[in-house]
Amino acid sequence: MPLQNRVTPSGDLIETTARGLLFGNRGGRFHEPETQLLRQRRWASRQWITCVLQFKSRHRSVWGSGYTELFFLDEVTALAAGHRPCFECRRADAKCFADAVMAGLGLSSRPSAPEMDLRLHRERLEGRKKRRHTADIAALPDGAVIEIDGRALAVRGDRLFGWEPAGYAPGIDRPAGGPITVLTPPLSIAALKAGYRPLWHGSARAEPEE
């Protein structure tokens, strides 16, 4: 049976046999020795990161004695859930992300990882639940994830792609404008607007293959 370690755009953890492009963690361990999540915890600290699947030939026993490993369909999903790139295994991406945050928020210097983590933690949670935000859909950048009738959809160009554990459903037309519920935290939206390019799952294509 798969572990409950796959992250959805709303930050929930589900069980699925589908494979993802990235893995990460939430600052430590919040699972039991018998590979069950702790009843009341879904993170260990504010440091929610997204990592590559392979780094320096390291090998881990998933949900062993260390931190609670999590997996993501792609980086668009991870950003929506409130994660950011890791400064160790994804250093170049992390620096690009921080630079984009600086530009997008009009900061005078590149924010540190702890500074971004503090802000992201406020923006991704409302108590223990996912915090949602509202924006004009016309102003959202590629890579933002919205929610319509409880369904997560990723914005890419003039299309919206419905999120599913194994990939994205074929795209539908993006509305021209109007208020919409946004899952991706404002800090990450600012980075996307400033030019940060997240890793997409290959199923999010402008048109389905014939």
Using one digit for the tens of pLDDT, what is the confidence trace for 103-148?
Answer: 999 999 999 999 999 999 999 999 989 999 999 999 999 999 999 9
Residue 35 pLDDT grade (very low, low, confident, very high; cuts 50, 70, 90)? confident
What's the rounded Cα separation, in Å, for the pair 25 and 70?
5
What's the rounded Cα separation, in Å, for the pair 71 and 2?
12
State whether residue 51 is helix, strand or coil: strand
Handedness of CA 141, 176, 136, 48 (dihedral sign): negative
Which DSSP category does 43 fall into?
-
HEC assignment per residue over 67-128: CCCEEECCHHHHHHHCCEECCCCCHHHHHHHHHHHHHHHCCCCCCCHHHHHHHHHHHHEECC
**Segment among 8-22, 30-44, 166-180 with least mean pLDDT:** 30-44
Task: Identify which of 201, 198, 202 has the alpha carbon closest to the alpha carbon of residue 94.
Answer: 198
Q: What digits encode the pLDDT tens for the residues 43-58?
A: 999 999 999 998 787 7
